[in-house]
Homo-oligomer: A and B are copies of this chain.
Amino acid sequence: MGESEMIAVWGNLHRLYSAMRRSLDERLQAEAGCSLFDHDLLTRLDCASDRRMRMLELANRMEVTRGGLTRIIDRLVERGWVRRDRPESNRREVYALITDGGARTLDQARAVYLRVLDRTLGGQLSEDELAEFGNSTNKLLMVLGGDR
Contact check, B122 vs A19: say whether CB atoms are below 8 A apart.
no
Known: A1-B127, A114-B3, A136-B129. A141 touches B16 (CB 8 A): yes
Contact check, B121 vs A9: say whether CB atoms are below 8 A apart.
yes
- The closest CB in chain B to the CB of A14 belongs to B17
Tally of A interface residues using CB under 8 Å: 48
Residues of B within 8 A of A7 (CB): 114, 117
Known: A20-B13, A121-B10. A1 touches B141 (CB 8 A): no
Partner of A23, one of B9, B19, B123, B144: B144
- In the complex, chain A residues 13-37 whose Cβ is within 8 Å of any chain B Cβ: 13-20, 23
Residues of B within 8 A of A10 (CB): 20, 117, 121
Q: How far is the CA of A18 from the CA of B146 in the complex (A)?
A: 9
Task: List A residues at the B interface (Cβ < 8 Å).
Answer: 1, 3, 5-10, 12-20, 23, 63, 114, 117-125, 127, 129-134, 136-146, 148
Contact check, A124 vs B137: say whether CB atoms are below 8 A apart.
no
Residues of B within 8 A of A23 (CB): 144
* Pairs of residues from A and B, 7 with the lowest C-beta to C-beta distance, nearest first: A12-B137, A19-B144, A17-B17, A133-B136, A15-B146, A6-B117, A1-B122
- The closest CB in chain B to the CB of A43 belongs to B7
Contact check, B1 vs A146: say whether CB atoms are below 8 A apart.
no
